[in-house]
Copies of this chain bind each other. A is one copy, B any other.
Amino acid sequence: MATIRDVAKTAGVSIATVSRVFNGNTAVNEDTALQVWAAASALDYWPNGAARSLTTNRTSTLGVLLPDLYGDFFSEVIRGIDQLAKREKYQTLVSGSHASVEDVLAATRAMRGRIDGLVMMAPDSITVESVARIRRRLPVVLISPPFAVDGCSSVSIASFSGARAAVAHLVGLGHREIAMVAGPAGNVDAEERLRGYRRGLLEAGIQPRDEFVVQGDFRESSGYAAAAALLDRRPRPTAVFAANDCMAIGLMSALGNAGLSVPHDVAVVGFDNITMAQYMRPPLTTVHVDAYALGQKAVRLMLDTLADPEGGKVTVQTIDVILKVRSSCGARPAVATNTPAGPETNQQR
Contact = CB atoms under 8 A, between A and B. Distances in A.
A279 interface: yes
A109 interface: yes
Interface residues of A, number: 77
A49 B111 contact: yes
Interface string A155-184: 000000000000000000000000000000
A79 B257 CA distance: 32
Contacts of A339: 253
A244 B50 contact: no
A95 B84 CA distance: 11
A16 interface: no
Nearest to A110: B91
B92 A224 contact: no
Number of copies of this chain that the complex holds: 2
A224 B342 contact: yes
B50 A257 contact: no
Interface string A80-105: 00110010000111111100000000
A284 to B, nearest CB: 10
A112 interface: yes
Contact of A44 (B51, B86, B137, B252): B137
A347 B70 contact: yes
B341 A225 contact: yes
Closest 10 CB pairs of A and B: A224-B341, A48-B113, A75-B75, A49-B113, A256-B338, A71-B347, A49-B114, A281-B281, A69-B79, A221-B342
Interface of A: 1, 44, 46-54, 59-61, 68-75, 78-79, 82-83, 86, 91-97, 109-114, 133, 136-137, 218-221, 223-225, 244, 246, 249-250, 252-254, 256-257, 272, 274-276, 279-281, 337-342, 345-349
